[in-house]
Amino acid sequence: MSEARDFKYIGQRTIRPDGADKVTGRANYAADFALPGMIWGKILRSPHAHAKVLSIDTSKAEAYPGVFAVATHADFPGGEGGSIEAGESAVNLKDLSRNILADDKVLYAGHAVAAVAAVSERVAEEALELIEVSYEVLPHVMEIEDAMQADAPVLHEDMFTKGLDEEPDKPSNVATRTELKMGDVEAGFAEADVIVEREFKVSRAHQGYIEPHACTVRYDEDGQSLIWCSTQGHFDVRALNSQLLGIELSRLKVIPAEIGGGFGGKTTVYLEPIALILSRKSGKPVKMVMDRDEVFMATGPTSAANLKAKVGAKKDGTITAMQGWMAYDAGAFAGSPMMPGVMTMFTPYDCPNVLVEGYDVVLNRSKTAAYRAPGAPQSEFAAEMVVNEVAEKLGMDPIDLRLQNAAKEGTQTIYGPKLKRVGLVECLEAAKNSPHYQSALAEGQGRGIAAGFWFNIGGSSSVTVNMHSDGTGSIIEGSPDIGGSRASMQMMVAEVLGIPLDRLKPIVADTDTLPYNGTTGGSRTTFATGMAVIEAAEKVVEQVKARAAALWNVTAEQVEYADGVVRNLAGEESISLAEVCKSAAQTGGEISGSANINARGAGPSFAVHLCDVEVDQETGKVDVTRYTAIQDAGKAIHPGYVEGQYQGGAVQGIGWALNEEYVYNDKGQVDNAGFLDYRVPLASDLPMIDTIVVEVPNAFHPYGVRGVGESGIIPPLGAVGWAVGNAIDRKVEELPCSPPRVLSMIQSG
């Protein structure tokens, strides 16, 4: 439990243990790996957004000099029906296999159809052009509202909407309808003095990691197959490949490379199963690296959404009812993050009457994947915009309105349980007292504020701390480190053992070395893997104490451990951890602590952001002039990397709110599949991102940690959207606020 205490390492801005390798270019990312005899795989992709695949003739490609293997959907062993638990959520294997390589239909432009492995990338690309695919082009449907129409082209003949009162008798593009409610919204709105209701649209946004997907694999029929890849969860890569290709888990080893960004987008598989098939067929190691346009065309962005929000409040500021509606674009296969969108939409508010309805819709765009607080930014954007408008109508300060209605310990959520201790009120108060909020706006500027809620998760983490004879230790963990988590693990173990950081080396181990470990996602790593490293380190301390007690012929209760030294409370002796480790073989064997936990009690993290913008009234161009991100960390293990999560999330959200969007041509092809025209924020686009780290401890973590990775991307949509509207005296209803859209709002009068 976490009352105030003095820490030696926790809370320090330490140098990350993997840092030197990363700043010198020595760190090995997935595309940096090569095996002897390795060949290269490339993918043929559909130019059509929706078509039947009538035939695929690969004979010319197979005969092309330098080609070793060709793969199509038919190379999956089949029977990959049903779904499996790949870590945190159920994955529909049939859909997954059909997304990796199209079966009888292509469902989006860029959908993989076949793959070639050849002596070089160049030869593989030449061979792709020799594959003859016969398509019967079908009408495609690109927009959510169109896909939901009864007469829309249907993507999946076997998809019948789930969650309707009556069983549907016709297939539909609506995979699921869901509704969560509590109280009586009609009665709540009847009590309200002010009601605001608006409709919103949010574009799909790509995670935009700078490192394209990449892997190198070696299939081994008799022994053990190997995958070296860029992933947030190598145990899930193993699970998915095992199921898709019928390989026993123990015969498939996945080695996580350093990962060049994920943000949720590297929690599934695209290349690895194809590479394994090509390796199996060619008998050679196969390397595959996506081109940037493939990343944008065929890997998961998050969903576009159509939304409605309606909020009612009394004159005194009491919110009486909140109602939401949303339809999320899942892409070509069911499974948008609509459900978390529904669950999070109004969670920052303590309101008794809430009703939210959601639709998961398929259409002829690439399958979506998780992206930082999946589903929450879209729905909470709609909610925050309407809450700000309620404050405006009531003549109330938007922070005061939120404080009056803020979710806190004991607040009933729409998704079931009551909240435990959370830090929204503290974040709102910090925002209100911030220099930013206290500052005056210049002429022509606008200011926006928004809150954000994300659950955070726990789950499986497996860790071993091995102590060596020189007193140093290895922290063997299974959570791929995307943002500096090895530093946090090192600090937590150092805190327990009371020895200097540089005596401890954290290692992200392969799937053979540890039991299953959940994906780095859901803001779980510092929380859950952190709990596991603490438990493992505590086991080391117990062993060290026991060895010292045995040496002194006293009981374990008669010794005390602090700062890396065991002291005999019954005598004068003391012995260092290093000395105990040196003699460990003689005192009962080497010293090591393991913890395989299923962490529960993840603490939600609330965030509140403030944004000032300036709008060029003649061109509609928006300049973010000041930005502050405030968020509850529970306890910041490494404040630098906690701030980094806030800043990075804020800037991804700013990009989504201002310029990031998918543009499709009339054939349904992505027209901006590159960093030139998919416009992520640049260094020159931004001011410094100020941060305020609020610490309301999570009682379920020994040091009070909450996850911090995701909540920061939620508030920017509302904070930027409201600020833009504030600057031009209009109401923003559609993101991104790109210059043409803002200019047309200005001109619309």
Partner 1 sequence: MVSVVYEAPDTVESAVSILADSAIPAYVLAGGTDLIIQTRASKDAERLVVDVKKIPGMCDATIHDGALELGPSMPCAAFTARDDIKAVFPGLVEAAYLIGSTQVQGRCSVGGNLCNASPAADTIPALIANGAECVIQGPDGERTVAVEDFVTGVGQNCMEKGELLKQILIPAPAPRTADAYLRFIPRTEMDIAVAGAGVSVTLDESGVCTAARVAIGAVAPTAILVPAAAEALVGTSLDDAALAAAATAASEASSPITDRRGTVEFRRHVVGVLVKRAAKIAADRAGGN
Partner 2 sequence: MFAATGAVDDPVRLIRTAMAIVCFSGELLPFTGEERTETEASAFRDIVAELVQRYDRLDEEKLMGMAIAIDGVIVHTPLLEVIGPDSELHFLHRISGG
Partner 3 sequence: MAKTHVTSTVNGEAVEFLCEPGDTLLDVLRNDLQLTGTKEGCGSGDCGACSVMLNDRLVCACLVLGVEAEGAKIGTIEGIGSNDRLHVLQEKFLEHAALQCGICTPGLIVAAKALLDENPNPTEEETRYWLAGNLCRCTGYDKIIRAVMDAAETMRESA
Compute the least distance from the CB of residue 679 to partner 1, in Å: 5
Buried b (16+ CB within 10 A) or exposed e, 643-671: bbbbbbbbbbbbbbbbbbbbebeeebbbe
Residue placing its CB nearer to partner 2 in the complex, 339 or 727: 339
3-class secondary structure, 117: strand
Residue by residue, what is the 3-state secondary structure of 136-147? EECCCCCCHHHH
Q: Which of residues 388-427 bind partner 2 (CB under 8 A)?
A: 410, 414-420
- How many whole angstroms separate alpha carbon 227 and alpha carbon 230? 10
Return the number of the residue (712 or 725) whose C-beta is nearest partner 3.
712
- Establish if 359 lies at the interface with partner 2 (CB under 8 A): no
Contact of residue 672 among partner 1, partner 2, partner 3, none (CB under 5-8 Å per partner type):
partner 1
Task: Kindly report the three-state secondary structure assignment for every residue of 580-621.
Answer: HHHCHHHHCCCCEEEEEEEECCCCCEEEEEEEEEEECCCCCC
Query: Does 65 sit near partner 2 (CB under 8 A)?
Result: no
State yes or no: residue 52 binds partner 3 (CB under 8 A). Answer: no
> Which secondary-structure segment (H or E) carries 551?
helix 530-552
CB 214, CB 288: distance < 8 Å: yes
Q: Give me the DSSP letters along 290-323.
A: --HHHHHHHS-EEPPEEEEEEEEE-TTS-EEEEE
Binding status of residue 710 toward partner 2 by CB under 8 A: yes
Residue 371 binds to partner 3 (criterion: CB under 8 A): no
Under the binding rule (CB under 8 A), the answer on residue 89 touching partner 2 is yes
Residue 622 C-beta: closest distance to partner 2, Å: 26
Q: Is 647 in the site for partner 3 (CB under 8 A)?
A: yes
Select from partner 2, partner 1, partner 3, none the partner in contact with residue 700, using the beta carbon and a kind-dependent cut-off of 5 to 8 Å: partner 2
Q: Which is nearer to partner 2, 632 or 690 (CB)?
A: 632
- Residue 98, binding choice from partner 1, partner 2, partner 3, none, Cβ under 5 to 8 Å by partner class: none
521 near partner 2 (CB under 8 A): yes
Give the total of residues touching partner 3 (CB under 8 A).
59
Residue 434 vs 625, nearer CB to partner 1: 625
Query: Token pair for residue 413?
Result: 């959520």
Answer yes or no whether residue 648 interacts with partner 2 by CB under 8 A. no
522 in contact with partner 2 (CB under 8 A): yes
CB of 21 to partner 3, least distance (A): 7
675 binds partner 3 (CB under 8 A): yes
Region binding partner 2 by CB under 8 A among candidate stretches 80-88, 322-330, 622-630, 634-642: 80-88
How many whole angstroms separate alpha carbon 410 and alpha carbon 417?
A: 9
Closest CA to 398 of 323, 320, 317, 314: 317
- Give 74's contacts (C-beta < 8 A, 6+ positions apart): none
Pairing assessment for the beta strands 225-229 and 214-218 based on DSSP bridges: antiparallel
**Strand runs labelled E in 676-739:** 689-694, 734-735
In whole angstroms, give the CA distance from residue 594 to residue 495: 17
Q: ∠ at Cα 391 (390, 394), nearest 5°?
A: 85
Is residue 27 at the binding interface for partner 3, with CB under 8 A as the rule? Answer: yes
Residue 216 Cβ vs partner 3, minimum distance, rounded to whole Å: 13
Q: CA-CA distance, 381 to 308, in Å (whole number)? A: 10
> How do 305-313 and 559-562 pair as beta strands?
unpaired
Confirm or reject binding of residue 719 to partner 3 (CB under 8 A). no
Closest distance between partner 2 and the C-beta of residue 357, in Å?
9
Residue of 62, 125, 146, 291 interacting with partner 3 (CB under 8 A): 291
Rounded Cα distance between 254 and 228, Å, is: 6
The answer to whether residue 339 forms part of the interface with partner 2 (CB under 8 A) is: yes
Give least dist CB 154 to partner 1, A. Answer: 29
- Decide: is 263 part of the binding site for partner 3 (CB under 8 A): yes
Residue 360: is it exposed, middle or buried by C-beta count within 10 angstroms (0-12/13-18/19+)?
Answer: buried
Whether residue 337 contacts residue 370, with contact meaning beta carbons closer than 8 Å, is answered with yes
CA dihedral defined by 260, 266, 270, 276, rounded to 10 degrees?
Answer: 70
Distance CA 425, CA 191 (A): 25
Binding region for partner 1 (CB under 8 A): 122, 125-126, 618-621, 658-659, 663, 671-672, 675-677, 679, 681-682, 684-685, 738-740, 743-744
Pick from 211, 350, 495, 661 the residue near partner 3 by CB under 8 A: 211
Contacted entry of partner 3, partner 1, partner 2, none for residue 483, CB cut-off 5 to 8 Å set by kind: partner 3
Q: Which is nearer to partner 3, 324 or 736 (CB)?
A: 736
| Residues lying near partner 3 in the complex (CB under 8 A) | 13, 15-16, 18-29, 31-32, 122, 207-212, 258-263, 289, 291-292, 482-484, 638, 640-641, 643-644, 647-652, 674-676, 680-686, 688-689
Contacts with partner 2, residue ranges (CB under 8 A): 85, 87-90, 163, 165, 178-182, 207, 263-265, 267, 302, 339-340, 343, 370-374, 410, 414-420, 454-460, 519, 521-524, 597-598, 600-602, 700, 710
